Amino acid sequence: MRLLAVLSAVLLALVAPLAHAVPAHTDRIDSKAQFDGLARTSPGGRYASFPQVMFAIDRAAKGGPRLYFINSRRFAFHLDFVQGAYLSTQDPAALLEANYSRDNRRFLFGSVLWYPTLKRFGVEFWEGDRLTPELLTLAISQLQPRFYAPLAFKANSAHQLETAALLPGLQTIDANALFGSRDALVLNAGKATGRLRIVPQLTKDTLLAPDDIAILGEAPLQLSPVAGLVTSEFSTPLAHVNLLAKSWRIPNGYVRDAVRRFAELDGKWVRLEARGETIELRLATAQEVAAAQSATNRRKVQVAKADLSYRALPSLGELRARDSIRVGAKAANLGEVARGIAGRSVDFSVPPGFAVPFAWFQQFVTANRLDDRIAALLANPRLRQDAAWRREALAELRRAFAQGAMPAGLGPELERRRREVIGAGGVFVRSSTNSEDLPGFNGAGLYSSVPNVVDQAALEAAIRTVWGSVWNDAAFAAREAAGIDHRSVKGGVLVQLGMNAETSGVMITENPFDPAERDTVFINAKRGLGIRVVEGRRVAEQLLYRSDPEAIQLLTRSTDDAMLTFDANGGVREVAVEPGHVVLTDERARRLARVGQQVARIFGSKPQDIEWLLIGDRIHIVQSRPYLRGN
């Protein structure tokens, strides 16, 4: 039987070429048609998919290096070709180890790709390939004379960028230019019918309705619920607005030049479909409009739970995830991380902090007679029928929070606890309500945070601001869409040592472009404080870490020309930086990804959305919440 299997394999190898009009390989490509005949496009999981033809350069061939352009429709991997053509009989694992990281490797493996919107060909290597200047020079010298069109090199890692920089005459393709050339990116798949609203610039006076499909000229900092969302300016998948879209389960994505492209549909009922790598927008049919108008999409009203008997100001080390009913999920989850690493040797820390539980919020509301005011507001039909009136009424309610008297005894307790747990230095005052960071509703960006609070009076004012942000217009609209009982929402607060980050960002412990890909971490990074990362206004540095085999793929570099840093008098200030430079070295990205995986294991290896920062070489974790995959 074994001999029969061998003979069958040999026979298959002999007859396989007869079953294909295109040969298994060629030593040159003389036209676009020939390239297309060899190329394949692999969808999903790699952020962007382009036609590619793999190549292998055998450096040990008789007479000097030999180039093979591989029929990439027939062979899925370089190793398949090498072994199928009997160029090597090495074990696959040994072949991988020998030919992706060693300077003296026998084979050089890469691909030639066609970027349709750039109308250019590029040469790429696996992001884990430790290319040297000599190997890259060899590859281009072998490829270009045997390829009919100009070739340029596109780096896929920080190491490859550094290698390319050592070759001044090398033609290159910038990752950001390539990113900007793509027509669309689906950030949350789905279908929706609604009235199209084109908003080139979102202002505080812009009013959007739940049945609107919004096309925005730029990524917004906050947004009230809509039926669907398209932006003309790319925002990272981890920007607050994209996380909210997942919470709302609405189609969401980026379409280049969307404001101009769909201008003629403004104000009309349209059908939005986001799936795979395409976003389609067309006039809705009469049946689709009728179905949308008659649909009753309100969910069953949820009552947010809160234990109002707990009045302590617990440090993070005293909290567990189950304490979310007392202090909110943000503080409780971070406490779970702090407890999870206590006494262990890990490569990160959680900055010290403490929580102000819901009981103090409720005492403040009652003492300042805000509960009566809230009840009257919720009973007024204009709150849900007149968006402009609602915005002003909620702003007035927040002003009442800002001017309210703090509960008796809380001020001295805050001062004592801050001194005990945190010590000197500014603090971050962050929301930790009972209606955010939840498995089905993360509330990203809906509630206020106040950075670098430096004195006691400012701390008390910041807590009132965070409490009042329960009644932000966007937060109200989001809870309304999610069916959360507004009267049950309580404001918790996390007070944490302010860390003046040199580098910061967000990571999720899975691949948002292909959740089925295992052991992957997606990292967004910028210089300075992380506020600019989650705002999504400028493209962050985006990296994909894969652990098997270990590699870090550079997707985009940061385009931000400013960073935020602490102001000596409290708050933050903006500092100019040069865009386009690498924010994270491969070594730091690798460490961050492993830290992310450690944090996920604390929560049973469920995907986590993690905020991190770096000061010097030290990694600090300041938030971990469940990552919502959306549709």
Asked if residue 587 is part of any domain, the answer here is yes
Using the predicted structure, report yes or no on whether residue 10 has a pLDDT greater than 70: no
Same structural domain, 154 and 223: no
Residue 141: pLDDT above 90?
Answer: yes
Rg (CA), the chain: 28
pLDDT at residue 536 greater than cutoff 60: no
Calculate the alpha carbon distances from 410 to 416, 423, 425, 448 in Å.
10, 18, 20, 20
Is the pLDDT at 8 greater than 60? The verdict is no
pLDDT band at 42 (very low <50, low <70, confident <90, very high): low
Comparison of pLDDT for 342 and 313, the residue scoring more: 313
Whether the Cβ atoms of residue 205 and residue 187 lie closer than 8 Å to each other: no
Q: What is the reported pLDDT for 11?
A: 34
Shared domain for 154 and 119, answered yes or no, is yes
pLDDT, position 460: 96
What is the 8-class DSSP label of residue 89? -
What is the DSSP secondary structure assignment for residue 564, as one 8-state letter?
Answer: E
Same domain, 372 and 280: no
Q: Do residues 411 and 331 both lie within one domain?
A: yes
Domain contains 308: no
Whether 297 shows a pLDDT value over 70: the answer reads no
Helices (H), 404-514: 410-421, 456-468, 473-482
CA distance 619 to 598: 13
From 159-173, 386-400, 408-422, 564-578, the region with the lowest mean pLDDT: 564-578
Query: How buried is 11 (Cβ within 10 angstroms: 0-12 exposed, 13-18 middle, 19+ buried)?
Result: exposed
Q: Check residue 439 and give its pLDDT.
A: 64
Confidence of residue 21 (pLDDT cuts 50, 70, 90): low
Task: Tell me whether strands 353-356 and 493-497 are parallel, antiparallel or unpaired.
Answer: antiparallel
The DSSP code sequence of 436-452 is: SSBTTB--TTTS-EEEE
| Residue 5 forms part of a structural domain | no
Euclidean distance between CA atoms 34 and 39, whole angstroms: 9
Which residue, of 455, 481, 497, is where some domain finishes? 497
CA distance 335 to 342: 11
User: pLDDT (tens digit, 9 = 90+) per residue, 603-631?
Assistant: 999 999 999 999 999 999 999 998 877 66
For residue 143, pLDDT over 70 is answered with yes
118 and 43 inside one domain? yes
Q: What integer pLDDT is reported at residue 437 of this predicted model? A: 66
Per residue in 320-342, pLDDT (tens digit) is 999 999 999 999 999 999 999 98
Q: Is residue 301 part of a domain?
A: no
**Residue 481 forms part of a structural domain:** yes
Of all residues in the chain, the percent with pLDDT exceeding 90 is 54
Q: Please write the tens of the pLDDT for every residue from 472-526.
A: 988 888 888 778 889 999 999 999 999 999 999 999 999 887 777 888 999 999 9
**Same domain flag for 536 and 450:** no
Q: In this predicted model, which residue has the larger pLDDT, 478 or 24?
A: 24
Question: So what's the pLDDT on residue 570?
Answer: 86
The stretch 539-548 carries a mean pLDDT of: 86
Per-residue confidence (pLDDT) for residue 147, from 0 to 100: 98
Mean pLDDT of 103-114: 92
pLDDT for 569 beyond 90: no
User: What pLDDT sits at residue 442?
Assistant: 66
Same domain, 326 and 469: yes
Average of per-residue pLDDT across 39-68: 83
pLDDT tens per residue across span 56-100: 999 999 999 999 999 999 998 888 898 888 887 777 777 777 777
Domain that residue 87 falls in: 16-180
330 close to 623: Cβ distance less than 8 angstroms: yes
**Averaged pLDDT for residues 167-182:** 82
pLDDT score at 221: 63
- State the Cα torsion 304-486-331-421 to the nearest 10°: -120
Mean pLDDT of the chain: 86
Q: Rounded mean pLDDT of 224-239? A: 80
Q: What is the pLDDT of residue 14?
A: 39
Q: Within a domain: residue 441?
A: yes
pLDDT level of residue 18 (50, 70, 90 thresholds): very low
Residue 8 belongs to a domain: no
CB 486 within 8 A of CB 433: no
Neighbours of 7 (CB within 10 A): 10
**What is the C-alpha to C-alpha distance for residues 488 and 308, in angstroms, rounded to an integer?**
11
State which of 148, 180, 212 marks the end of a domain: 180
Per-residue pLDDT averaged across 115-140, rounded?
A: 91
Domain match, 42 and 148 both: yes
Q: Is pLDDT above 50 for 269?
A: yes
Query: Which pLDDT does position 175 carry in this prediction?
Result: 80
Q: Are 340 and 455 found together in one domain? A: yes
Cβ contact 68:44 at 8 Å:
no
Res. 292 pLDDT band, cuts 50 70 90? confident
The residue with greater pLDDT, 178 or 13, is 178
* CATH code: domain of residue 210: 3.50.30.10
Cα(104)–Cα(495) distance, rounded to whole angstroms?
54
Banded pLDDT at 19 (limits 50, 70, 90): very low
- Domain boundary (453, 472, 497) is at 497
CATH code for position 439: 3.30.1490.20
Number of structural domains, the chain? 4
What is residue 301's predicted lDDT score, i.e. its pLDDT?
A: 58
Question: Is the pLDDT confidence value at 401 over 90?
Answer: yes
Indicate the pairing of strand 562-566 with strand 120-124. Answer: unpaired
Q: Which residue has the tokens 């995830």?
A: 321
Residue 236 is assigned to a structural domain of this protein: yes
**Is residue 403 pLDDT above 80, yes or no?**
yes
Res. 207: pLDDT tops 80: no
Q: Is the pLDDT of residue 537 over 70?
A: no
Identify which has the larger pLDDT, 376 or 7: 376
pLDDT band for position 7 (cuts 50, 70, 90): very low
Q: How confident is the model at residue 2 (pLDDT cuts 50, 70, 90)?
A: very low
